[in-house]
Structure 1
Amino acid sequence: MNSPLPHVPQVEVVISGCSAADAGSLFAELCRRFGSDRAAEDAPHEAEGGRPTMWTGTFDTSATLGKPGRTTGQPPHLSGPVTAELQGEPRAVECLRRVLDETFVVHQLGVVAGDQEVDIELRLESRETA
């Protein structure tokens, strides 16, 4: 007898192609909304030697902390485009992506979907403010 697999709410987020400050802004925004293995005040650091740097965090989409919409004015500003890879169970990834869609301009660059997991690559940009 086949039984449905349980919903796994964790999404791994890998940030690259940006400054440590931009990665920190993005992670702080996600920490404002979801439980995480990161603290909102954890500041990413640049790697020495000029090599590409990637930052990772795991976010629990079942532990929603914030409410939709911003209560503190302006959304976080990114100095340039940020590449984000989201990996996890499809419903959890969609939940996290909705938060990104509310906060940033999101362009989907690619998707790989399996039976129980999805991996999507996004390019995030700041929203224009009036």
Structure 2
Amino acid sequence: MSSPVSHVPQVEVVVSGCSAADAGSLFAELCRRFGSDRSLDDAPHETAGVRPTMWTGTFDTSAAPGRFGRTAPPPPLSGQVTAELQGEPRAVERLRRALDETFVVHQVGAVSGDQEIEVELRLESRART
């Protein structure tokens, strides 16, 4: 008798086209909801040079969303943030739904593979009332 292999649906998130503070806000929001290779207080930082800066994180979407309560809304983004999500389609969709609850999300593109999907999103802060 063989036991089933447990599968942890992970999504790799690549953030670019924004400030380190905006990348930090996005990653902090995802860390509140999902397990990650990043800690909640792992703040991205700028690098010197002319190359574009990209930040990455891997998130375990098998954790129930909302498991870390929010004490305050996330700080507003200073502009649009580009986020590329890559992983198993259901895991990517679960992470995207979490982003939809906090940010205005525009899907820019998607590429489907045999077992994975890659989705490019543009995120903006929600208007506060």
TM-score normalized by structure 1? Answer: 0.88
Give the match for residue 45 of structure 1.
Answer: 45
**1:1-130 alignment, distance < 5 Å:** 8-64=8-64, 66-67=66-67, 71-130=70-129
Contact 1:26–1:76, Cα closer than 8 Å, also in 2: no
Give runs of ≥4 in structure 1 deviating > 6 Å: none
Q: CA deviation at 1:76?
A: 3.4
Q: What letter matches 2:82 in structure 1? A: T
Q: What letter matches 1:23 in structure 2? A: A
TM-score normalized by structure 2? Answer: 0.89
Provide the rounded CA distance (Å) in 1 between the counterparts of 2:23 and 2:85.
14
Q: What letter matches 1:120 in structure 2? A: V
Q: What letter matches 1:29 in structure 2? A: E
Structure 1: segments with no counterpart, 5+ residues: 1-5
Provide the rounded CA distance (Å) in 2 between the counterparts of 1:98 and 1:65.
10
Q: CA deviation at 1:47?
A: 1.1
Q: What letter matches 2:84 in structure 1? A: E
Structure 2: segments with no counterpart, 5+ residues: 1-5
Contact 2:25–2:74, Cα closer than 8 Å, also in 1: no
Give secondary structure in 2 for the equivalent of 1:80: coil
Deviations 1:96-120 (A, max 9, x none): 0000011000000000011210000
Provide the rounded CA distance (Å) in 1 between the counterparts of 2:75 and 2:115.
32
Deviations 1:46-94 (A, max 9, x none): 11013210000000001236249x7434343100000000000000000
Provide the rounded CA distance (Å) in 2 between the counterparts of 1:111 and 1:76.
28
Contact 1:34–1:61, Cα closer than 8 Å, also in 2: yes
* Identity fraction in percent: 77
Provide the rounded CA distance (Å) in 1 between the counterparts of 2:7 and 2:118.
16
Do the aligned partners of residues 7 and 91 (structure 1) sit closer, same or farther apart at CA in structure 2, a change above 3 Å counting? farther
